[in-house]
Amino acid sequence: MGRTLDQVRYKCALGAMQTVQSIDRVLPILHAGPGCSDKLSTGNGNSGYFAPRIFPCTNLSEKEIVFGGEGRLRETIENALQVIDADLYVVLTGCSSEIIGDDSAEVVNSFRLQGKPVIHASTAGFKGNNYLGYEWVLQSIFEQYLDDGKEYETEKGLVNVFASLPLHDPFWYGNLEALENLLADVGLTANIIFGYDRGLKNIGKIPCAEFSLVVNPWLGLESARLLEQKFGIPCLHYPNLPVGAFETGKFLLALSEFAGLDVEKTKKLIAERERKYYYYIERFADIFLENRIMSKRFTVVADTQYTLALTRFLVNDMGLFPQRQYAMEDVPARHQATIREYFRDMNYGIEAEISFETDGHAVHDEIRKADYMGYPLLIGSSWEKKVAEETAAHFLPISWPLNERLIINSSYVGYEGALKFLEDIYSVVLTRYT
Amino acid sequence: MTIDLNSTTFGKREERLGSVVGYVGTIKDLASQSRCGSLKDRGRCFSQSSSCDAGCVLGYISHIRDIAIINHAPSGCTAGASSVLTNQTQLASKRGLPYNTVILGTDMNESDTIFGATGTLHDTILETYRRYKPEAIFVTTSCVSGIIGEDVDSVIAETGEELPIPVVPIHCEGFKSKVWATGFDAADHAILSRIVVPPRKKGNFVNFKNFNESARDDIVEMFRALGVDVFMIYSNTTLEELSHVSEALATIAICGTLASYLGNGLEQRYGVPYIKTINPLGVTGFETWFRDIGRVIGKEAEVEAYIERERALYLPKLEEVKKRLRGLRVVLGMGSSFAFQVARVIQELDMEVAYIASWHYDSRYDDGNPPPHVQYLAEHAPRDFDVSVADQQNFEILNILNRYKPDLYLARHPGTTVWAVKQGVPAIFMADEYMSFGYKRTLSFAYTILDRITNRSFEKNLSSRIRLPYTDWWYRQESASLYEEAR
């Protein structure tokens, strides 16, 4: 049988409009149906300089479906250039325009030939999800905007950073900022293209970086590899988003070694940071240890980034035990075997089983049947609320769809992030007593 | 126009109701063109993303408890499922009701666009029943299923025979209608044609079509005063309850855009009178509407008694606050009904309507008559004023706000309130359809306006620190200068 999409955890490739929207002053132009952007803009943090209602869209109707929509696309781009003040216009094609066979790339090229800042990415919804759409948009930017004929001078200590899926991951912004700060701590400068005051300025610096850093189990890797091919920029793939002392220390060391920095200096920095971090852990250890109701075992149902990061934190920092873990973003099969290994090298030889799933109903069935040796700790998305109620779990939603929590720029990354994560978990735990 | 309940499909609004998404003119011109049936849609050569009928269907039909919706579409078309279901669950829990509706999708992929996915749809319908045992399964279509020509009706007819529950297609391909409100009709068509059964006997209740029933308690109380029950749809209803709407004394609604299909359909098919007056926003609207209900269900005396009581309670207070609102100039951006109904309330409160942008406009309803609220406004406006049909086009709205420089902007539907505020115009997001319903809420609406225009801190703080995304060139153009005929 075909796939049943029960509890949707990802959007379609056109959801990459959010990737574009996350780059300051870069505007998506949609060659798509009237409702696409409306449906894909769920989540918070949408009303920036551009917002979904600002995105030009051909709003394809019956007429274009029958007679073709290239003319409609042409006039939409032409007028977008006049009406909206953007640095770069990224034409994204949706299902309808691709099935009817519009040659959108050709239309876009005619603008590029006139020197207009317009590029194109094929993001038909049926071709893949928004995680893949993110890569396709990055690749379009690298291929069509960055000039690979030019000589770029390498800037010492500059690092291209790719981590969470912008706007889709509720913590994307905070994660990037936290990583930027960690890099700065060891003397590196993060070159991030998403978020506040970055935009084309930082896109232009991509070919000048010493290396690219991908902090994600798989997402962004192929785009970074493209930078390697085109501009000879090496890539450090660090699969685990570091949360807590144990993992953040490892991350800083790996980073320092790759960048050829003074490792002893980094070790000193780590020691300092850990001293402060454990000052807080010590102060609150009574809450963590002398608590009648806190879970002993946990499950994360999220995109792999969090499933891995939070599993490692809870095991390696907090001494909890993992039940089966779930990666829900339709991870491409070619990455799955490697990702399994990441769940096998934790303290004391502890391993976690990881399932790559897209069917939330099946996951919930397994959670209901599992024995958590007490109250489960369930970290997931809004979809897990019901199963958490049924299993009397401590429930913290952190992953899209996240409907009943507002995240602005907080993050669980690093030392501070881990403390924030503990605040959030125990704010749930403390609502009950047994 | 007669509503045909024998077909799985139905006419889109452009065909049935002469609906348009592009127009510029004045209230008097719009009223007269609606009467003559001469209104023509004007296309745009530039547009921003709007909404589609499929999104409208998912948001609306999911109000019903314990059904399953299968969206035959790529994943993105179902991306809103969780937020919609969360909201519906919150609405149900407010009333202490269980809510178990689910929204699934067929996650159509590239090979489906070539070979079709009717097999997947068949399996998904069966699997959905096995998992959730819903009261019914509604299958919604999409742009992709429409363009590749999936024979959804046949799959549903075949699969439906294997299951003990109704399996019902809802045709809402996103490209089909330029008017997303066609989605309301798509949902109503499915309910009317497949769920509603002939009356067993006449009931002692009225159907009240609305969105989120936020004023439910007051409305129940109001109808108790008339000695009848009120059945609010679709929020928190069950299919069993809905199947008996044919037994109602009358159908009433908060919004003509929302209720035209179901209201007129029930009237045509089962003789349930549909109240077609202006809607119950503001004092005049409320009294006109409530009196007509009283007339139709034979409760005139009770209605008059209710009106007298409420008038005594609220009119003096309304007179008080009106003094402080007098002369404020207001721009409105809302749907085809609310835009003109709230404008009437604005005039009642002694403010001036500077401009109305209606998201779409139905030049007649399913009974063949032009919308009464536009006729009313054209007759009662102190002077003719400008109107456009703006299809939620943000660039047109900001241009209009820049030109008319109102004291206040009122909007329904997300996507423009924030931008008015960013442009420095105080604005109120009137998503709650009951925001100026009846006496009590008209009063609180008046105070909300007063509060809003008094404390301008947020818009002052924000607008002084941000840049707007439109070029100076655009602000120098007329708002309709990117209509096709304008070039």
Interval B446-460: pLDDT, tens: 999 999 999 999 999
Strand, helix or coil for residue A251: helix
Size of interface A-B (CB pairs under 8 A): 225
Strand, helix or coil for residue A75: helix
User: What part of B 94-133 touches A (C-beta under 8 Å)?
Assistant: 102, 104-110, 112-113, 117, 119-120, 123-124, 127-128, 131
Q: Which CATH architecture has domain A158-258?
A: 3-Layer(aba) Sandwich (3.40)
Contact residues on chain A for B123, CB-CB shorter than 8 A = 1-2, 4
- Residue A235: phi, psi to the nearest 5? -125, 130
The HSE-up count of residue B119 (CA atoms within 13 Å, CB side) is 8
Interval B223-267: pLDDT, tens: 999 999 999 999 999 999 999 999 999 999 999 999 999 999 999
Interval A307-366: pLDDT, tens: 999 999 999 999 999 999 999 999 999 999 999 999 999 999 999 999 999 999 999 999
Ordered by where they begin, the domains of chain B are: 53-174 (3.40.50.1980), 205-300 (3.40.50.1980), 326-486 (3.40.50.1980)
Distance from CA of A95 to the nearest CA of B (A): 7
Interval A154-170: pLDDT, tens: 999 999 999 999 999 99
B144 pLDDT tier (thresholds 50, 70, 90) = very high
Six-digit token string for A149: 């004929």
Contact residues on chain A for B49, CB-CB shorter than 8 A = 30, 32, 34, 36-38, 52-53, 55-57, 59
Six-digit token string for A405: 């929590």
Nearest-angstrom CA–CA distance, B59 and B234:
11
First-to-final CA distance of chain B: 35
Interval A109-143: pLDDT, tens: 999 999 999 999 999 999 999 999 999 999 999 99
Q: Residue B116's pLDDT is what?
A: 94
Contact residues on chain A for B53, CB-CB shorter than 8 A = 35
Place of tokens 């090496």: A234
Nearest-angstrom CA–CA distance, A327 and A310:
12
Contact residues on chain A for B54, CB-CB shorter than 8 A = 35
Contact residues on chain B for A332, CB-CB shorter than 8 A = none
Nearest-angstrom CA–CA distance, B407 and A205:
45
A320: which DSSP letter? Answer: -
Q: Residue B1's pLDDT is what?
A: 67
State the Rg of chain A over Cα: 22
Instruction: Judge: B83–A14 Cβ closer than 8 Å, yes or no.
Output: no
A123: which DSSP letter? Answer: -
Place of tokens 């407010």: B94
Contact residues on chain B for A38, CB-CB shorter than 8 A = 49-52, 55
Q: Which of B395, B337, B475, B430 is nearest to B50 (CA)?
A: B395
* Three-state SS sequence of B242-276: HCCHHHCCEEEECCHHHHHHHHHHHHHHHCCCECC
Six-digit token string for A298: 């946990």
Region B171-177: what's the mean pLDDT? 95
Nearest-angstrom CA–CA distance, B44 and A224:
40
The amino acid at residue B47 is S
With b meaning 16 or more CB within 10 Å and e meaning fewer, what string describes A258-291?
bbebeeeebeebbeebbeebeeebeeeeeeeeee
Q: What dotted CATH number matches A283-429?
A: 3.40.50.1980
Instruction: Judge: B78–A5 Cβ closer than 8 Å, yes or no.
Output: yes
B12 touches chain A (CB under 8 A): no
Strand, helix or coil for residue A298: strand
Interval B285-331: pLDDT, tens: 999 999 999 999 999 999 999 999 999 999 999 999 999 999 999 99
- Residue B288: phi, psi to the nearest 5? -60, -45
Q: Residue A148's pLDDT is what?
A: 72
Q: Residue A2's pLDDT is what?
A: 56
User: Which residues on adjacent β-strands are paired with residue A23?
Assistant: A195
Six-digit token string for A310: 């939070």
Nearest-angstrom CA–CA distance, A253 and A141:
31
- C-alpha B484 chain-centroid distance: 27
Strand order from edge to edge, sheet including A118-122: A26-31, A88-93, A118-122
Q: Which residues, including other chains, have CB under 8 Å from residue B406's CB and lie 6 or more apart? A: B329, B330, B331, B354, B355, B425
User: What is the DSSP pairing of strand B229-233 with strand B167-170?
Assistant: unpaired
User: Which residues on adjacent β-strands are paired with residue B436?
Assistant: none
Nearest-angstrom CA–CA distance, B211 and B221:
19
A67 touches chain B (CB under 8 A): no
Six-digit token string for B235: 């929020």
User: What part of B 145-174 touches A (C-beta under 8 Å)?
Assistant: 147-148, 174
Q: Residue B170's pLDDT is what?
A: 98
The HSE-up count of residue B86 (CA atoms within 13 Å, CB side) is 19
User: What is the DSSP pairing of strand B386-389 with strand B352-358?
Assistant: parallel
User: What part of A 372-391 touches B (C-beta under 8 Å)?
Assistant: 381-383
Region B388-413: what's the mean pLDDT? 96
Q: What dotted CATH number matches A13-145?
A: 3.40.50.1980
Nearest-angstrom CA–CA distance, A400 and A380:
8
Q: Which of A55, A56, A125 has the CB atom closest to B75's CB atom?
A: A125
Which strand (E) or helix (H) includes residue A98?
Answer: helix A95-99
**Average pLDDT score, chain A:** 97
Domain ranges for chain A, please list them: 13-145, 158-258, 283-429
User: What part of B 461-480 touches A (C-beta under 8 Å)?
Assistant: 466-467, 469-471, 473-474
With beta carbons less than 8 A apart as the criterion, state whether B48 and A53 touch: yes
Q: Residue A43's pLDDT is what?
A: 81
Instruction: Judge: A84–B395 Cβ closer than 8 Å, yes or no.
Output: yes
* Helices (H), ranges, A232-332: 244-259, 263-289, 304-316
Q: What is the ipTM of this complex?
A: 0.96
Contact residues on chain A for B87, CB-CB shorter than 8 A = 403
Fold equal for A13-145 and A158-258: yes
A57 touches chain B (CB under 8 A): yes
With beta carbons less than 8 A apart as the criterion, state whether A10 and A327 touch: no
Q: Which residues, including other chains, have CB under 8 Å from residue A219's CB and lie 6 or more apart? A: A131, A134, A135, A162, A165, A305
> Can you give the pTM of this predicted structure?
0.97
Distance from CA of A275 to the nearest CA of B (A): 40
A122 touches chain B (CB under 8 A): no
Give the C-alpha distances (Å, rounded to integers) separating B40 from B25, B338, B374.
Answer: 12, 21, 17
